[in-house]
Amino acid sequence: MLSASEIRRRTLFQQERCPECGGGEFVTDLEVGEVTCRRCGLVLQEETLDQRPEWRAFTPEEKEKIRAGPPTALSQFDKGLSTTFQPDRDAHGRPLSTMERLSMMRLRRWNVRARLHSSTERNLSQAMNVLSLLADRLHIPENGRESAALIYRKALEKELIRGRSIQGIAAASLYAACRLTRTPRSLKAMVEASTRSRKEIAKYYRLLQRELAIKMPVDDPAKYLSKIASNTALDQKTQSLAMELLQRAKMIKADVGKSPAGMAAAALYMAALIRGEHVTQRQLAGAAEVTEVTVRNRYKGLTRLLAS
């Protein structure tokens, strides 16, 4: 129990007055954790907590960091702000009795129901689970997952999900996020990882792109050279020559509006013919996941434009 003098001292300190001299100017020493009066030097508080961050901040983002747990995540339906508890132990880790455990399990069940009381939250819960499953199967990095969750949330706000498959919109959102973040994942790989058809995912992808006004960046055909050449056993010199051909095509804007994978396959086919390597258009088309007709047309276009 506090004495009367201690209560008076704390009351005056809360009123920002020194109990010794009545002064109102205090000095905080963060090194030793003391608050002293500037006038008489009386120590008013000891072992104060240091509220400053323990990290050094060099950017505005680092200065805004807080200690209140992990950052929010769009890939979680509640953005990671929900709480839960274990129903079998108390706060000190001691096991609960059978009746208390049953009561805690009922409370936790109602806690989960309260978190999913609206149709929007139930929709997000199911969609984020689908996105997480697809991202794990395709090894999508964290920025791609967050972008996909953001696209899906925008589609939900504009009521684009109503009457459509949650799995299909989620797969289309993830494919759009891969295109935005330049993560090399093809539509064929997305279809194989998902339970929806190629036609459905492509249709929903065009819907998202149109309704959300998403401007997709154009992929560089050079990104596909290494993969296609590796799958068709072409050597490094052929890849280097194909890179030069693509750079020349880019200077005269011959790759505008063309499939990047098709352009890369056509450049590799042209480079292989120049160097005398044997590879067919069918092999390159299979490695690039495009049709043989696409490789043939891109090759004819490159030959005509680079020869002029």
Superfamily of the domain at 221-307: Cyclin-like (1.10.472.10)
pLDDT of 157 above 70: yes
pLDDT of 25 above 90: no
Was domain 1-66 assigned CATH 2.20.25.10?
yes
Mean pLDDT of 281-286: 90
The whole-chain average pLDDT of the chain stands at 82
Q: pLDDT-derived band of residue 119, with 50, 70 and 90 as boundaries?
A: confident
> Under a CB-based contact definition with an 8 Å cutoff, are residues 127 and 204 in contact?
no
pLDDT of 69 above 80: no
Question: pTM, whole model, 2 decimals?
Answer: 0.59
The pLDDT of residue 202 is 93
The contacts of residue 284 (CB under 8 Å, 6+ apart) are 228, 232, 265, 266, 268, 269, 295
Mean pLDDT of 78-103: 77
The pLDDT of residue 7 is 56
Identify the residue with better confidence: 92 or 151.
151
pLDDT of 17 above 60: yes
Q: What is the pLDDT of residues 222-280, one digit of tens each?
A: 888 888 888 888 889 999 999 998 888 888 877 777 888 888 999 999 999 998 888 89
Give the residue extent of every domain in the chain. Answer: 1-66, 75-117, 127-211, 221-307
Mean pLDDT of 70-74: 69
Identify the residue with better confidence: 127 or 15.
127
Q: Which CATH class is domain 127-211?
A: mainly alpha
pLDDT of 73 above 90: no
Residue 118 one-letter amino acid: S
The pLDDT of residue 35 is 79
Q: What percent of the chain has pLDDT over 70?
A: 82
Q: pLDDT-derived band of residue 50, with 50, 70 and 90 as boundaries?
A: low
CATH topology identical between 127-211 and 221-307? yes
User: Which of 193, 161, 163, 162 minimizes the C-alpha distance to 178?
Assistant: 193
Helix (H) or strand (E) holding 43: strand 43-45
* 145 vs 134: CA distance, rounded Å: 10
User: Which of 279, 253, 251 minimizes the C-alpha distance to 265?
Assistant: 279
